[in-house]
């Protein structure tokens, strides 16, 4: 692995009222990597981001960003980061343009440089329509877009994105994902938390799955799949779909069965061999037109690791 | 220090997005001076007793300017906290003391404007002149006063995170600080039981310094120790606010 730009070692954060939000987590992020923090509500992802961005101090353990300890050198850390936090942190009384300009001034850019950077992000994120509208009149999705635009104006080597695409329309979301990927290609490091598993799967080079303040699993998508290799999906289509074949599918010891336009999507556990044999047996009485086996995606991995439905396992 | 001006500019833009509020901050002390001061003087006849109450009260009004501006602008902390911008600002590339000084700068400039308006109103409407030799110390002391109160209210706002708790505490504090002080009357006229509280009140220390320049006829035996005490008050409140900002703000 190349040089680590974010290092977290046995990090723990306990809130004033005694709640242990982060409980001894350890991970590292390499320069230029897109790293995901995933987990259900209260997993500790946002607290981790807040410690790494120097808003909260670690109770114990240590964390460093760009070689600077978050507790001992918070200012040096802040000079190397830019953060989109979970809240819609915009200056509600100012226009979109003023929000962007002010953010650049507060990050030390000159008026000339600010204008250049504002023009670039306004174009990239299609913010022109409400450039002169007060932020309090903007939709949640637009405010989120403005947040991301602010972060993309700044050249800090590490970008923190806490559920940055929440509320965005799909086209803009795709554009944001492309932009994040471009930033990583330029060597910037991105740490993102998301409740959208497809987004994490599309973007993250590596990720950590958290629960109750602890790291449940960490690694690349392939490594996580390996951890959850028992879970996979079968896509089955019969030559003649009948009530009997449907009942047969429903009787399988599957975790979940969905039927869409004559095709069954069956989430199962066990070995592939076992299920190929099972499908061959079914095919003797009800010939199959199509059989496909797909490895677990992030949703299955969540299911496997958290032991409950993926719908309930979505993030903070 | 490079970030102090942009931070002050930010507060300037936010506060002036509704010009009525700053106007209110400046006008309230002037109204106090013109209505309260004049009415009281006419009613109790201080002029006949050789006391110019309005001149006496002017120093209190100038204290009120910095105190009032800070009191009102401290509520902006809650807007920033609720809107999420406060926590975002904690991730910006400047030191927390720069954040404090930037926010103070806006309030300090604003309090100088408020003091200038009061001094101008006193001269043009009441014929009370503040000598030019007093302008600089009065301005500097107003800035220092604004600093002390700003740091104190920042520290309170960050400790009392609930808006209701903050509102209740500061409203009670407002009454105590304003009325158990020498702002409206000499402390000797207060009931004995609360007089010690007035002597320990930083509003008293701040006002006595201003009164020394505006109404030298008034005897101020503790001026030197009060001046030192007020400096200490500003340093301690800065330390408290900076320490809180550098700690954990959940």
Domain ranges of chain A: 4-223, 230-295
Q: Point out the residue among A57, A85, A102 whose CB comes nearest to the CB of B13.
A: A102
CATH of A230-295, one of 3.40.630.20, 3.30.200.20, 3.30.70.260, 3.30.1330.40: 3.30.70.260
| pLDDT one-digit tens code per residue, A180-191 | 999 999 999 999
Residues from chain A contacting residue B17 (CB–CB below 8 Å)? 93-94
Q: Out of A44-48, A279-283, B13-17, B156-160, which region has the weakest mean confidence (pLDDT)?
A: B13-17
pTM of the predicted protein model? 0.81
Q: Greater confidence, B117 or A260?
A: B117
Give the ipTM: 0.84
**A158-162 and A189-193 beta bridge pairing:** parallel
Q: Out of A81-95, A227-241, B57-71, B126-140, which region has the weakest mean confidence (pLDDT)?
A: A227-241
Convert chain A into a string of H (helix), E (strand) and C (coil): CCCEEEEEEEEEEECCCCCEEEEEEEEEEECCCEEEEECCCCCCHHHHHHHHCCCCCCCEEEEEECCEECCCCHHHHHCCEEEECCCCCCCCCCEHHHHHHHHHHCCCCCHHHHHHHHHHHHHHCCCHHHCCCEHHHCCHHHHHHHHHHHHHHCCCCEEEEECCCCCCCHHHHHHHHHHHHHHHHCCCEEEEECCCHHHHHHHCCEEEEEECCEEEEEECHHHHHHHCCCEEEEEEEECCCCHHHHHHHHCCCCCEEEEECCEEEEEEECCHHHHHHHHHHHHHHCCEEEEEEEECCHHHHHHHHHCCCHHHHCCC
- Looking at residue A309, its pLDDT comes to 40
- Looking at residue A310, its pLDDT comes to 41
Question: Nearest-5° angle of CA B111, CA B117, CA B119?
Answer: 100
Ramachandran angles phi, psi of A220, nearest 5°: -80, 170
Give yes or no for residue A291 having a pLDDT over 90.
no
Give yes or no for residue A104 having a pLDDT over 60.
yes
Q: How far is CA A74 from CA A77, B4, B150, B155, in A?
A: 5, 18, 24, 20
Q: Point out the residue among B14, B83, B93 whose CB comes nearest to the CB of A78.
A: B93
Residues from chain A contacting residue B84 (CB–CB below 8 Å)? 85-89
The minimum CA-CA distance between B170 and chain A, rounded to whole Å, is 23
Sign of CA dihedral A15, A20, A22, A26: positive
What is the C-alpha end-to-end distance of chain A, expressed in Å?
A: 29
User: Exposed, middle or buried by CB within 10 Å (0-12, 13-18, 19+), for B90?
Assistant: buried
**A34-38 and A206-211 beta bridge pairing:** parallel
CB A159 within 8 A of CB A188: yes
Number of structural domains (chain B) is 1
Q: How far is CA A268 from CA A239, A252, A281, A304, in A?
A: 22, 9, 16, 11
Spatial separation of the C-alpha atoms in residues B44 and B42, rounded to whole Å: 6
Domain that holds residue B9: 4-246
Instruction: Give the tokens for residue A247.
Output: 């009942």
CB A254 within 8 A of CB A267: yes
Best mutation target, A13, A21, A85, A106, to test chain B (most B CBs within 10 A):
A106
- Looking at residue A228, its pLDDT comes to 63
Residues from chain A contacting residue B90 (CB–CB below 8 Å)? 53-55
Class of the domain covering A4-223: alpha beta
């Amino acid at each position: 692995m190349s040089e680590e730009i974010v290092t977290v070692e046995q990090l723990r954060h306990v809130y004033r009222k005694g709640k242990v939000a982060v409980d001894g987590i350890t991970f590292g992020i390499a320069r230029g990597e897109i790293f995901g923090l995933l987990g259900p509500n209260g997993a500790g992802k946002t607290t981790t981001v807040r410690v790494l961005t120097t808003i909260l101090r670690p109770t114990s353990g240590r964390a460093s960003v760009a070689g600077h300890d978050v507790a001992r050198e918070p200012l040096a850390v802040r000079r190397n980061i830019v953060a989109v936090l979970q809240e819609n942190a915009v200056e509600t009384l100012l226009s979109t343009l003023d929000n962007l300009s002010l953010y650049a001034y507060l990050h030390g850019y000159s008026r000339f440089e600010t204008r250049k950077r504002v023009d670039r992000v306004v174009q990239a994120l299609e913010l022109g329509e409400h450039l002169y509208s007060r932020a309090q009149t903007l939709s949640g999705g637009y405010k989120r877009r403005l947040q991301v635009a602010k972060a993309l104006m700044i050249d800090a080597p590490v970008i923190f994105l806490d559920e940055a695409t929440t509320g965005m329309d799909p086209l803009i979301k795709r554009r944001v994902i492309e932009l994040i990927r471009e930033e990583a290609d330029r060597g910037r490091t991105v740490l993102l938390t998301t409740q959208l598993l497809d987004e994490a799967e599309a973007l993250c080079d590596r990720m950590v799955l958290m629960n109750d303040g602890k790291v449940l699993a960490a690694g690349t998508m392939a490594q996580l799949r390996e951890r959850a290799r028992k879970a996979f999906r079968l896509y089955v289509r019969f030559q003649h779909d009948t009530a009997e074949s449907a009942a047969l599918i429903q009787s399988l010891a599957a975790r979940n069965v969905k039927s869409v336009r004559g095709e069954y999507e069956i989430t199962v556990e066990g070995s592939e061999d076992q299920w190929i044999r099972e499908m061959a047996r079914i095919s003797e009485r009800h010939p199959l037109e199509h059989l496909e086996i797909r490895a677990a995606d992030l949703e299955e991995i969540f299911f496997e690791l958290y032991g409950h439905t993926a719908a309930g396992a979505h993030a903070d | 220090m490079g970030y102090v001006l942009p931070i002050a500019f930010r507060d300037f833009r936010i506060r002036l997005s509704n010009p009525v509020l700053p106007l209110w901050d400046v006008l309230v002390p002037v109204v106090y001076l013109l209505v309260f001061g004049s009415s009281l003087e006419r009613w109790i006849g201080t002029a006949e007793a050789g006391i110019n109450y309005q001149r006496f009260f002017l120093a209190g009004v100038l204290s009120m300017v910095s105190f009032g501006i800070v009191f009102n602008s401290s509520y902006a902390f809650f807007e920033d906290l609720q809107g999420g911008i406060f926590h975002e600002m904690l991730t910006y590339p400047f030191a927390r003391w720069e954040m404090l000084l930037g926010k103070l700068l806006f309030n300090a400039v604003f309090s100088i404007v408020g003091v200038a308006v009061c001094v101008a109103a006193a001269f043009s409407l009441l014929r009370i002149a503040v000598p030019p030799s007093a302008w600089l110390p009065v301005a500097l002391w107003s800035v220092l006063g604004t600093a002390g109160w700003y740091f104190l209210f920042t520290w309170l706002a960050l400790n009392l995170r609930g808006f209701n708790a903050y509102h209740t505490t500061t409203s009670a504090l407002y009454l105590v600080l304003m009325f158990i002080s020498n702002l409206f009357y000499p402390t000797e006229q207060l009931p004995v039981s609360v007089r010690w509280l007035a002597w320990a009140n930083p509003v008293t220390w701040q006002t006595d310094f201003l009164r020394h320049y505006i109404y030298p006829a008034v005897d101020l035996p503790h001026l030197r120790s009060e001046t030192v005490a007020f400096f200490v008050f500003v340093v301690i409140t800065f330390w408290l606010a900076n320490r809180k900002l550098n700690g954990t703000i959940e």
